[in-house]
Structure 1
Amino acid sequence: MKITALDTFIVEPRWLFLAIRTDEGITGWGEPIVEGKAATVAAAVAELSDYLIGQDPGPIEDHWQVLAKGGFYRGGPVLSSALAGIDQALWDIKGKALGLPVHELLGGPVRQTMRVYSWIGGDEPGALAEQAVQRREQGFTAIKMNGGGRMRALESRAQINALVDRVSAVRDAVGDDFDIAIDFHGRFTPAVSRVACQALEHLQPLFVEEPVVPELTYQIANITESTTIPIATGERLFSRWDFRDVLSSGIAVAQPDLSHAGGISEVRRIAAAAETHGVALAPHCPLGPIALAASLQIDFASPNALIQETSLDIHYNTGSELLDYLVDPAVFAFADSSVARPTAPGLGIEVDENVVRKAAERGHAWRNPLWRQPDGSLAEW
């Protein structure tokens, strides 16, 4: 079998899909994307395709090593995300060629169902509580919400109290047998994160995510030591080397993203490294169906997988939704806040290429918002 082409498709709402073609008619799908930089990652995939076209898709690890390390410059979000989507697609090809789901090729399933959570959005306590109740009625037993909007280097008592009020409203609405994760989104400084976590401890969140920006992860230990709330991070870390020091810092949950952190091959290694530190795995995935499918393959093969994020009805999804690009959306049927083990070959999904091609004719130019403080200075989004 030989690789004959790599085709990328920029599709709404903010995704990039990749199809790797072979001369035996098997197509593997991946999702290489940096949100807001879809065209840039598509260009990186095109450059990497010079090496792949004409190659046997089978030796995935050798391809990973060449694509990750064969260039003088390596790593970073763009190259790691391009590699991630290629890696997903190569695993999809291998699974389809052998008639097995990818997790069977990674040692077989360690569970039969995987717990999942969804998002709620907004700033008002009442609206957040209403959305949380809706999620519970949909069958979810866990949600994630934003911790705050624009945050200053040091925050007022009023801002901290407003955060507590929002989470309290959700907790009161859904009760104690429902998990609430809070995403600080890297918007908080280390000092504000410590204050905010201490103020939230009585509400017992499932975890607080990304309490600081990735370039300040050397300070994560100061945060984990200052609070009883489990700390999660990793969506903007792109390799096992990026995770190396973080895993020993006292975090509770590692959150590599299957579309950013080198794909299935690298996240499998990150998951194993996390296990050696007693750290759970919860792949970051506010993205599309291919990224979710790849995440689930890792979840079903990883003993320390805790919970899986999904982008179902997430506020970023305008124009298209998680299930719109699948021939059979039932593969992601969520029941009792969990999804059943996929048994179809490869990534376990069938992408509707006709729908993808039509969406790619529209494309998108999604960019993340740019926020500024009242004084005009840039604020973390």
Structure 2
Amino acid sequence: MKITSYELYQVPPRWLFLKITTDSGHTGWGEPVIEGKAATVKAAVAELMDQIIGEDPCNIEGLWNQMYRSSFYRGGPILMSAIAGIDQALWDIKGKHLNAPVHQLLGGKAREKIKVYSWIGGDRPTDVALEAQKVSDKGFTAIKMNATEELQYIDDFKKVQDVVERVSAIREKMGDGFGIGIDFHGRVHKPMAKILFKELESLHPLFIEEPVLPEHNGTLKSLSNFSIPIATGERMYSRYDYKSVLADGYVDIIQPDLSHAGGITECKKIISMAEAYDVAVAPHCPLGPIALAACLQVDATCHNAIIQEQSLGIHYNKDNDLLDYVKNRSIFEYDNGFVKIPDAPGLGIEIDEDYVKERAKESHNWKNPIWKHKDGSIAEW
């Protein structure tokens, strides 16, 4: 079996889909994208695919190393996202060729289903208690929300109080059995992070995500004295990026993104590394159905995978949503806060290719907003 061709589809709301075709007729789908940089990743995928046309798609480890190691410059969000989507498609092909779901090829299931959470509140969180109730009514038992708006290095305590009030409203309405993930989104600098951790500790969040930007992971030591689990990793792109943060021992949950961090092949290794340090995993995935399917295949095989992000109803999905591009919309049916692991061959989903082609005609040029502080300086979004 040889790789013969590929197609790329830039589809709303902000996704990039890849289809790889082989001479046997087997096809595979991947989702290589950096949110806001879809066109850049698209160019990187085209460059990498030129290397592997004519190769056997089943030699995934060899092709992964070829794509990663044959270039003098490697790593980073663009190149690793391009590799990630290609890697997902290769696993999809191999599973279909062998008539087995990817999780069987990775060693088989460690679980039948995994807990999921839903996003609420948007970029500038409002009405979060009501939104939490709405997603609870849909069967979710945990949510994640952005904590803050813009924050300076040192800022008004009123902004801290606003965060506490929002989280308190959810806790009071939903009770202690409801999971509240709080995403600092890299918007918070070290001085304010310490204050927020202290003020939020009594509300028992499920975790605080990206309390500081990954380039400041050394700061996590000063936050590890609080009882709130620390999560990070969506902006870390390979096992090499995770080496020091795992060895330092201040992170409780890592969040590799299977469309950003080298795909199934690399993230399986990253997650196994984390298990050796007794660290849990909650893969990052505010993306489309192919990315989620890849996550679930890996989640199935990893003992330390605890909860899975998914994008149904997320505030970014304005033109299309998670289920629009799959033929079997029940494949991601959420039941009492869990989703079952797909068992069909490959990634376990069937993409509606006709609809993908139709929406690709509209395409998208999604960019994240640019925020500024009152003094005109750039704020972290």
- What TM-score, normalized to structure 1? 0.98
Amino acid at match of 1:354: D
Partner residue, 1:66: 66
- Equivalents in 1 of 2:289, 2:354: separation in Å? 15
Amino acid at match of 2:271: A
Q: Deviation per CA, 1:212-251, whole angstroms, max 9, x where unpaired? A: 11211122222223x1100000000000010111113321
Partner residue, 1:182: 182
SS at match of 1:245: helix
Q: Deviation per CA, 1:278-333, whole angstroms, max 9, x where unpaired? A: 10010000000000000001100000000000101000101000000001011100
Amino acid at match of 1:83: I
Partner residue, 1:343: 343
1:317-328 equivalences in 2 (<5 Å):
317-328=317-328
Partner residue, 2:305: 305
Q: Deviation per CA, 1:195-218, whole angstroms, max 9, x where unpaired? A: 101100000000000011121112
1:231 aligns with 2:230: yes
What is the aligned-residue identity percentage? 54
1:314 aligns with 2:318: no
Partner residue, 1:94: 94
Q: How much does 1:14 deviate?
A: 0.3
Q: How much does 1:157 deviate?
A: 1.6
- Equivalents in 1 of 2:21, 2:230: separation in Å? 41
Q: How much does 1:341 deviate?
A: 2.0
Task: Answer yes or no: is the 8 Å Cα contact 1:220–1:246 preserved in 2.
Answer: no
Q: How much does 1:342 deviate?
A: 1.1
1:355-374 equivalences in 2 (<5 Å):
355-374=355-374
Q: How much does 1:124 deviate?
A: 6.1
Partner residue, 1:26: 26
- Equivalents in 1 of 2:339, 2:129: separation in Å? 24
Partner residue, 1:281: 281
SS at match of 2:155: coil
Partner residue, 1:116: 116
Q: Deviation per CA, 1:152-189, whole angstroms, max 9, x where unpaired? A: 10122211111100000011111111110000000000
Partner residue, 2:3: 3
- Equivalents in 2 of 1:124, 1:99: separation in Å? 44
- What TM-score, normalized to structure 2? 0.98
Is there any run of 5+ residues in structure 2 with no aligned partner, and where? none
Partner residue, 1:243: 242
Moved over 6 A (4+): none
Is there any run of 5+ residues in structure 1 with no aligned partner, and where? none
1:144 aligns with 2:144: yes
Amino acid at match of 1:234: G
1:166-205 equivalences in 2 (<5 Å):
166-205=166-205
Q: Count residues in correspondence.
A: 379
SS at match of 1:324: helix
- Equivalents in 2 of 1:364, 1:31: separation in Å? 15
1:34-73 equivalences in 2 (<5 Å):
34-73=34-73
Q: Deviation per CA, 1:99-155, whole angstroms, max 9, x where unpaired? A: 111011111000111110101015566x11101011111111000011101011012
- Equivalents in 2 of 1:223, 1:300: separation in Å? 31
CA RMSD for the aligned pairs? 0.9
- In the superposition, relative to structure 1, how do residues 124 and 23 fare at CA in structure 2: closer, same or farther (>3 Å)? closer
- In the superposition, relative to structure 1, how do residues 26 and 372 fare at CA in structure 2: closer, same or farther (>3 Å)? same
